[in-house]
Structure 1
Amino acid sequence: MKLLTHNMLTSHVRGVKPGGGFPLRIQATEVKVNNVDFNPEFTARMVPKVEWVALVEAAESLGHRSDLPPEPIPDFEKNEDFLRKVHHVLMEVEVVEGVLKCEFPITKCEFPITKCEFPITKGIPNMLLSEEET
């Protein structure tokens, strides 16, 4: 699972407050880095679309922050060094095995926090919910 994918995933467990199922925490047991051809135009188009804080936190949790700043820099579209760092984190860092953890406050429940886990196997997150979670 690439961090670009992770940045789009959210938990839809019953009772999670709207907008509360994001970002999912990554607990990786295997991470690999694959070389992917650098496409500066694609990377520049993705920067405003990703949730930047979640991306930085995910990259940091995997030990691959690659000097990403806490927020996009001004005129990032023209800065190849910045775009290469973003490209590396979004496209080359991949979680092969691990879990995505959902630990968010939920409504109308005796427990204050839901603690769901979604396994990542061979790079594919399984986001299916059990019947009691839907």
Structure 2
Amino acid sequence: MKLITHNILQNNMKDGKKGYPLVLQATKIDKVIAEFNQEFLLRMLDRLEYHVLIHALEMIGMKDFLPIILPENCSEDEAFMKNLHHALLEIDIIEGELICPESGRKFPIKDGIPNMLLTDEEEMAVDSEPKSK
């Protein structure tokens, strides 16, 4: 699971709690090579919760290569853009778990894939909730 994925994931329970950002506990991390694409990164900057990315890097012990606050004119800083690319697309969480900060619900990560599926009991609770119009 890439950190770009972690940045958008949240608990999918319909209990009114946001469950975001998920706590990341990685037990196996790999680094992969991904082609640098500055245009993609620039488009992602508008959608990215930068503080969540920084917190995810802290949780996996890799916080030191990006500044805590998104720099102004960061698109003109080649070193920053390459470090952002590395953080979002080249750090791969292979094993671990995501934990909902609201409910404590744990979602396993196996072979780089987070399992965000609900249990049968959770699914029944969601199905029994009144539908809003």
Smaller-chain TM-score bracket: 0.7 to 0.9
The alignment status of 1:2 with 2:9, answered yes or no, reads no
**Aligned residues, how many?**
123
Would the aligned equivalents of 1:31 and 1:97 in 2 still touch at CA under 8 Å? yes
Counterpart position of 1:109: none
1:25-51 per-position Cα deviation (integer Å, ceiling 9, x unaligned): 111110011111111121122122111
Aligned counterparts, 1:58-73, within 5 A: 58-73=56-71
Structure 1 runs, 4 residues or longer, greater than 6 Å off:
none
Counterpart position of 2:117: 128
Task: Tell me how far 1:131 sits from its aligned partner.
Answer: 2.9
Report the structure, 1 or 2, having the larger helix content. 2
Counterpart position of 1:24: 22
CA distance in 2, matches of 1:116, 1:27: 13
Counterpart among 110, 113, 116 of residue 105 in structure 2: 116
Counterpart position of 1:99: 97
Would the aligned equivalents of 2:3 and 2:91 in 1 still touch at CA under 8 Å? yes
Would the aligned equivalents of 1:10 and 1:21 in 2 still touch at CA under 8 Å? yes
CA distance in 2, matches of 1:55, 1:5: 10
RMSD of equivalent CA atoms = 1.3
Which secondary structure does the structure 1 equivalent of 2:92 belong to? strand
Consecutive unaligned residues of structure 2, counting only runs of 5 or more, are 127-133
CA distance in 1, matches of 2:118, 2:91: 26
Report the structure, 1 or 2, having the larger strand content. 1
Percent identity for Structure 1 against Structure 2: 40
Counterpart position of 2:87: 89
CA distance in 2, matches of 1:66, 1:40: 21
Would the aligned equivalents of 2:21 and 2:101 in 1 still touch at CA under 8 Å? no
CA distance in 2, matches of 1:48, 1:70: 17
Mean CA deviation greater in 123-132 or 1-10: 123-132
1:32-87 per-position Cα deviation (integer Å, ceiling 9, x unaligned): 11111111121122122111111100011112224211221111111111101100
**Amino acid corresponding to residue 58 of structure 2 in structure 1:** E
